[in-house]
Structure 1
Amino acid sequence: MKLHADQPDGQSITAYGPGWVAVNGQRKEHSLVLSATGTLQDWNCARFEDLTAAHFEQLGNLAGEAPELVVFGSGARLRFVRPALLQSLMAQRIGVETMDTAAACRTFNILAGEGRRVVVALLVEV
């Protein structure tokens, strides 16, 4: 019997390291947003300290569909944003999980592979 790895329908995070993330083998050296349906966008924020409510508002309707969960990768270490910045997501009853960027990459791949409506927002700091 031959075993084959599952091939995801959308895009997946194939690698990551300090200051970069690879989506389907393409290296990105800036913050990004990726949905389980395959929508990939730049996330215009280079530092944790620069995050605003507007950064999180755009996550509530990525690719025309509200996710059930947003996974926020806060950079090389775990940092939590002020709850006020997440107000728009909470008002839409969208869950938010915060973890370091490496853990967020792994978690996104698992949840997307299960067919969950998940969006990952990755803060990639240099």
Structure 2
Amino acid sequence: MRLNEVVFTDAKPVEGYGPGFFRIGGQVIRGAVIAGPKGTGTWGGYDDTAALLDLAGQIDVLFVGTGPEIAHIPDDLRSTLEDAGIGVEVMASPAACRTYNVLLSEGRRIALALIPV
């Protein structure tokens, strides 16, 4: 069997979350967060499309966590991201964290945008 080391660039896994915060790569971030190949930081929510569009060409899929329950994201946000070549998967934030961690461990080209639970 051959094993390959996975390189995450600056992407770090989600280690935990709770009311109003996420812990990613040892860093606690309060409020909405974005994580991916450029690292982890705060996110301005659905109106902050620039931060998400900066990921174009670096990722194939963006997981959008909509808080404690799954909800629709604005249609114009989805259209803008898809027009930029970014696939969008919407789910509740806990599910988005789990899915992101699994695919990150596989070395996939992904990012995460989360609304707190």
TM-score range, shorter chain: 0.7 to 0.9
Question: Would you tell me which structure has more strand in proportion to its own residues?
Answer: 2
Q: In 2, distance between residues paired with 1:57 and 1:86?
A: 13
Question: Would you tell me which structure has more helix in proportion to its own residues?
Answer: 1
Relative to structure 1, the CA distance from residue 58 to residue 95 in structure 2 (aligned partners, 3 Å threshold; closer, same or farther) is: same
Task: Give the TM-score, by structure 1 length.
Answer: 0.76
RMSD: 2.2
Q: How far off is 1:93 after superposition?
A: 2.5
3-state SS, counterpart of residue 54 of structure 2? helix
Aligned to 1:59: 52
Amino-acid identity (%): 28
Which deviations, in whole Å up to 9, do the C-alpha atoms of 1:38-70 show, x marking residues without a partner? 51121023xxxxx33xx23421323x8431000
Q: In 2, distance between residues paired with 1:91 and 1:38?
A: 21
Q: How far off is 1:78 after superposition?
A: 0.8
Q: How far off is 1:73 after superposition?
A: 0.4
Aligned to 2:112: 120
Task: Give the TM-score, by structure 2 length.
Answer: 0.81
2:75 is the alignment partner of 1:74: no
Whichever of the two has the greater Rg, that structure is: 1
Relative to structure 1, the CA distance from residue 38 to residue 84 in structure 2 (aligned partners, 3 Å threshold; closer, same or farther) is: closer
Q: In 2, distance between residues paired with 1:87 and 1:57?
A: 14
Unaligned 5+ residue runs, structure 2?
Answer: none
Aligned length: 111
